[in-house]
Amino acid sequence: MTILRRGLLALAVSAGMVAGAALAAAEGLGKGKDLPHAASTWAGLYGGVHIGHADVGNFDDGFLGGVLLGRNWQSGLIVYGLEADISLSGMDHVDWIATIRGRVGYLISPNILLYGTAGLGLVDFGSTETDLVYGAGIEGKLTPTTTLRLEYLGFADTDISVVRVGLAFKLNW
C-alpha cells in the first residue's frame, strides 16, 4: 500500500503541475500585457462535487466521492476561506469521511490558486472518529464561475491519505 500511496501522490502532483501549466498557457499573458482584475475574483459562496482515492494505512483502500460547500474571501493575491465536505466510501472499513477545514492560498496567476488546508476530519469506521486533517491543492478557473481542483488530504491519527479531483461552481455571481 505504501508504494501505491506514493505512486498516487506522485501522479497527483504531476497532474497538478500539468494542469497548472495548461491553465497558465491558456491565459495568453505575454510580455507587456496587463493581468485581468475584477472579473477573476475568487470571493464568494461555492458548491461542487469530488471523486478520488483513499488509503487507510496498510489495510484498506478504495474510491470515494462526495459533495463540498465553501466560502472564499480575497485580499489581493491571498484567498482564504472555509470549506466542508462529505464523501461516501467504497472501502471495506470506512463508510464515509467528512471534513470542516480552513483554506489559505496564493494566486500564482489570476486563474490559478495554490492552497493549504487544515481542520477537523470525521471518519466512520462503524463508529465516528474525529481527527486532524491537513492538505494542499491546486485549483484553476475554467470559467469565471467554475473551478477544477486537485488536492491531497491527510488524516493525522487514523492514517488516511486522500487524493481527489473536484469541480466547483460559484453560487453567487
Three-state secondary structure along 76-100? CCEEEEEEEEEEEECCCCCCEEEEE
Half-sphere exposure at residue 149, Cβ-oriented, CA atoms within 13 angstroms: 28
- Calpha distance 104→108 (Å, rounded): 13
Examine residue 124 and state whether it is found in any structural domain, yes or no.
yes
Is the pLDDT score of 4 beyond 90?
no
- Calpha distance 50→42 (Å, rounded): 19
Write down the H helix ranges in the chain: 2-27
Tens of pLDDT along 106-124? 999 999 999 999 999 999 9
Tens of pLDDT along 133-162? 999 999 999 999 999 999 999 999 999 999
In the chain, % of residues over pLDDT 90: 72
Examine residue 31 and state whether it is found in any structural domain, yes or no.
no
User: CA angle, corner 14, sides to 116 and 134, nearest 5?
Assistant: 25
State the residue range of the domain holding 21.
Answer: 2-26+42-170
> Count of domains in the chain?
1
Examine residue 35 and state whether it is found in any structural domain, yes or no.
no
Cell triple for residue 28?
495568453
CATH code: domain of residue 18 = 2.40.160.20
